[in-house]
Amino acid sequence: MMVFAKQKLVFLSVPKTGSTAYQAALAPFASMVISDPPELKHAPVFRYNRFFRPALEKFIGSDLEVIAVMREPIAWLGSWYRYRQRPELEGHKNSTRRISFDDFVLAYLQGKKPAFANVGSQAKFMEPQKNGTQVTRLFRYEDQEGLQAFLRTRFGRPVSPEHRNISAPQELCLSDEVTTRLRRKAAADFILYDSIGADGAYTPPEIGSVG
């Protein structure tokens, strides 16, 4: 998560959406950069609302704009799957080595997820709070040009992040049956992603609608 007092902007870091690259590019202009621990670096809306918003609004102002990036849901899961394939996780409970992408997604759909598939939900990350706190602009990960155009306007300079924490290339294929089950069980994520329009405009999830 990054806070920019001059621009009155908060950039939430959704996991597996290129947040580390943007932190590196924008850190010199930030008033606050939360890079560790992961629970705070990747603070979702509810945690931002509870722990950060009160202080930021007191000292910066209540008109803060909150932005975030969302990845297409299957591609997002694929990024998690590839990331947890790395050799250093061999034998760890989070490793996805020797697990097919289909089996990874099926595990993700379980009520009690095994550790390797317990990666959260982008829709849950973005879920608005009862006091009205929410992401005000949401950009598709695939629309880097749109996100960078917005940042260029706010900062008055080009923002061109370098790729970081990139998983090894791997062709992933999800079967039609598992895709159908994922779209049904994780419908909130697909609905949210499909609602994202130009300039970060989108339709926020309803409060309490994301399980």
Where residue 53 sits, what CATH number does that domain have?
3.40.50.300
Q: Above 80 in pLDDT, residue 166?
A: no
Q: Does residue 81 have a pLDDT over 70? A: yes
Q: What is the pTM of this model?
A: 0.93
Q: Looking at the domain assignment, is residue 80 inside a domain?
A: yes
For residue 176, being part of any structural domain is answered with: yes
Residue 171 inside a domain? The answer is yes
Range of the domain at 49: 2-200
Burial readout 112-130 (b: 16 or more C-beta within 10 A, e: otherwise): eeeebbebbbbbbbbbbee
The domain total for the chain is 1
* Within-domain flag for 188: yes
Angle between helices 101-108 and 73-83 (to 10 degrees): 110
205 in a structural domain:
no
pLDDT of 207: 82
Q: What is the pLDDT, as a whole number, of residue 162?
A: 80
In a domain? residue 192? yes
With respect to residue 210, please indicate whether it lies within any of the assigned structural domains: no
Per residue in 188-204, pLDDT tens?
A: 999 999 999 999 999 99
pLDDT digits (tens, 9 = 90+) for 14-26: 999 999 999 999 9
pLDDT computed for residue 171 by the predictor? 80
Answer whether residue 166 is part of any domain: yes
